[in-house]
Structure 1
């Protein structure tokens, strides 16, 4: 157990920090790396997620040498949302298949704690050690604290992903509005339309050509830049006699 609580607090800050290039995998990778370094006697760590599609391990600190999804404490913890602790695989025979793989990989004990996650998914953080009886009450308390912060990391990663998606959508919307506005202006100048008339022309041309309004507008703007605007209008069936009285 670290003597200085400030060192633990520092680890928590680092665990839950997201930077511009972070994604879920990067967040969890950083969390596991720091966790192994922080918890005394911890040789490896695993994060396991259970969703509608099944149970999967999303990160481990290295190649473990055993299958964490063999029926055992990890699968039970993630299925029932309850902690599981294996103090000594040589003594505890509750999960024989898991225990055989576990001990053959060189491990003796593990601690599995549920992690708070957004949505319907459930997750478990598992610490494993090559020594027996490594995760007693004091270690349990520290790991529980870190596990709560793992839940924050999950939520932050999900929030960051959602925010990035929203920013992307907003940028697309703004770009669309700009392109459509430019295309409207070109039609207004070319045919002396007013703004609403030009927009109706664009909408009808979009439907007739089976193109998204944004793509049609981009095509017209590029044609203007390439000095092929009238050719583009003709190719799209947007000659003046066809569009001076668009239907409403």
Structure 2
């Protein structure tokens, strides 16, 4: 007689990526902060990290209609990510002139507001261009990054009214979390570069030691004298020591 199979426990659900909020609804800022703190760095290209930063800011900051991320490196500014072409265009106009809210926010780490593009006297050129494009106000917040790269997040609004104090506070907190994500990415890239350099150094050391061994045997000298011989050849030929060593090892191998 057949028996009914015992019921099995349901399989655990596969982990899923956070879903965007329904249209018209804002994402909980705490959820956005949590995602920023766990953004995968290293394997994820920086461009994708920054694109997600811009998207999250748009989804969790009340009144953020278009968002861009400014990076300043070696005094050169660029929009590394943006949620709309207008934000990128307005950023680029500021970069071309070397003056504007997004640049000043990134350089100083401060909040720079333009509450009315039709009556702005600090950034009149930017405001005039923005107003012609239908932008009513903007807020730029610097990211507190201790690296050689400076950054900021820029919010553009088309509707009347400005970001209120709570929204600006949310944007500032968001910028701090975003800065951590970017700093982690920068540290990872630096670590990978250091690892590659160390690996190259170890390879160079190995071939130099091999060349010293060849010279000790052929010149009947000490290891110290063999190294001095390598160093003199490197200086006279104006070539790297490891390249001279590699040639000596290669010649010995062919002999």
Query: Does the pair score TM above 0.5?
Result: yes
Within 5 Å, give how 1:27-176 maps onto structure 2: 27-49=49-71, 53=75, 56-61=77-82, 62-64=84-86, 65-66=89-90, 67-69=93-95, 72-78=100-106, 81-90=109-118, 92-94=119-121, 95-118=123-146, 122-133=150-161, 135-176=163-204
Distance 1:188 1:77, change over 3 A: closer
The 3-state SS of whatever aligns with 2:68 is strand
The 3-state SS of whatever aligns with 2:210 is helix
The 3-state SS of whatever aligns with 1:68 is helix
Which residue pairs with 1:180 in the alignment? 208
Distance 1:202 1:44, change over 3 A: same
Which residue pairs with 1:243 in the alignment? none
Distance 1:223 1:13, change over 3 A: same
CA distance in 2, matches of 1:210, 1:112: 51
Distance 1:203 1:76, change over 3 A: closer
Given that 2:77 and 2:103 are in contact with CA atoms closer than 8 Å, whether structure 1 keeps it comes out as no
Shift of 1:43: 2.9
CA distance in 2, matches of 1:216, 1:162: 29
CA distance in 1, matches of 2:62, 2:194: 41
The 10-residue stretch of structure 1 (139-148 or 29-38) with the greater mean CA deviation from structure 2: 29-38
Gap runs ≥5 in structure 1? 230-248
Within 5 Å, give how 1:203-222 maps onto structure 2: 203-222=231-250
Given that 2:69 and 2:154 are in contact with CA atoms closer than 8 Å, whether structure 1 keeps it comes out as yes
Offset from partner CA, 1:207-226 (integer Å, 9 cap, x none) = 3333221011111222334x
Given that 1:28 and 1:153 are in contact with CA atoms closer than 8 Å, whether structure 2 keeps it comes out as no
Distance 1:220 1:29, change over 3 A: farther
TM-score normalised by length of structure 2:
0.70
CA distance in 2, matches of 1:193, 1:80: 61
Given that 1:2 and 1:8 are in contact with CA atoms closer than 8 Å, whether structure 2 keeps it comes out as no
TM-score normalised by length of structure 1:
0.72
CA distance in 1, matches of 2:44, 2:204: 26
Within 5 Å, give how 1:217-232 maps onto structure 2: 217-225=245-253, 227=254, 229=255
